[in-house]
Amino acid sequence: MGLRTQITAATVGLVLGTGALAQSSNVFESNKNAWSENVGWTDWAGANSRADGVFIAGSYLTGYIWGENIGWIDVGRVPVNGVDYQNLNNTDYGVNIDPVTGALSGYAWGENIGWVNFDTLAALGAFNQEAEFDRPARRFRGHAWGENIGWINLDDGTHYVSYCSADVTTTGAAIGDPAYGVPDGLVTGADINFFVNAWGGGGLAVADVTTTGAAIGSPGYGTPDGVITGADINFYVNAWVAGCP
């Protein structure tokens, strides 16, 4: 039995803030919107002042997308196995990222719109418009499909959704402040200080940012590997110097 037949609106019971999310959105504040011809703009970062916005992990997404005309879209709550969503039942569904190719797969759920399918390779691969996360460019590309809303465009050259690995905290926020550890769309000394503290303290959620030994341009570069080494701080410093897209 497939995912669509096992999960209904009643069984999911989507309410913003229910379930465990990974952490505050790491979507770049200046590039957080995607367009759908039928439903308008979607905001991938702003849910609950970024606390429940979309978080881009190494192999999956967590959090919520907001659409002014359609409400919340849940992209996942952390896979049961910690690696990828199986998308077979109502306890383990969401959007996956292939850590090698960047291809997206799996489903997001909107209480008002139903399922949004991010596995569009079969439909759009011939046009190079399948949904994917372009890791070198740190942004999404292609199109996702909702049976009830049509295409969501992730590929616009001006309005798109991107990730900024250097933006990790709000400038001026002290330890214990709700904004401490929440990206603010800026890259300042506060960010590198926050990262170094996380790296020194063994904070995987923040400090594990690349695969040890992966060279620039290789599939593992920029993909967390579950350990914190000198490669992670080197990757972060390079990202911080480069700034955000």
In tens, the pLDDT along 50-81 reads: 889 999 887 899 999 999 999 999 999 999 99
Residues in the chain: 245
Shared domain for 158 and 193, answered yes or no, is no
**Total structural domains within the chain:** 2
Range of the domain at 206: 189-242
| Domain-ending residue, one of 163, 198, 226 | 163
Is the pTM for the entire model greater than 0.85?
no
pLDDT value at residue 23:
67
Amino acid 165: pLDDT: 82
Q: List, as own/partner pairs, every contact residues 74-78 make where C-beta atoms lie below 8 angstroms and the sequence separation is at least 24, other chains included.
A: 74/12, 74/14, 74/108, 74/109, 74/110, 75/108, 76/106, 76/108, 77/19, 77/20, 77/21, 78/20, 78/21, 78/22
Domain-located, residue 130: yes
Q: How confident is the model at residue 15 (pLDDT cuts 50, 70, 90)?
A: very low
Tokens read off for 221:
């570069």
47/151 same-domain check: yes
What's the whole-number mean pLDDT along residues 21-37? 84
On the question of pLDDT at 18 being above 70, the answer is: no
50 and 137 together in one domain: yes
Same domain, 59 and 157: yes
Report the pLDDT averaged over residues 148-171: 91
pLDDT category at 179 given cuts 50, 70, 90 is confident
Measured distance CA(189)–CA(233) in Å, rounded: 15
pLDDT for 188 beyond 80: yes
Q: Which residues of 52-69 are buried (b: 16+ CB within 10 A; e: fewer)?
A: bbbbbbbbbbbbbbbbee
In a domain, 198, yes or no: yes
Does any domain span residue 177? no
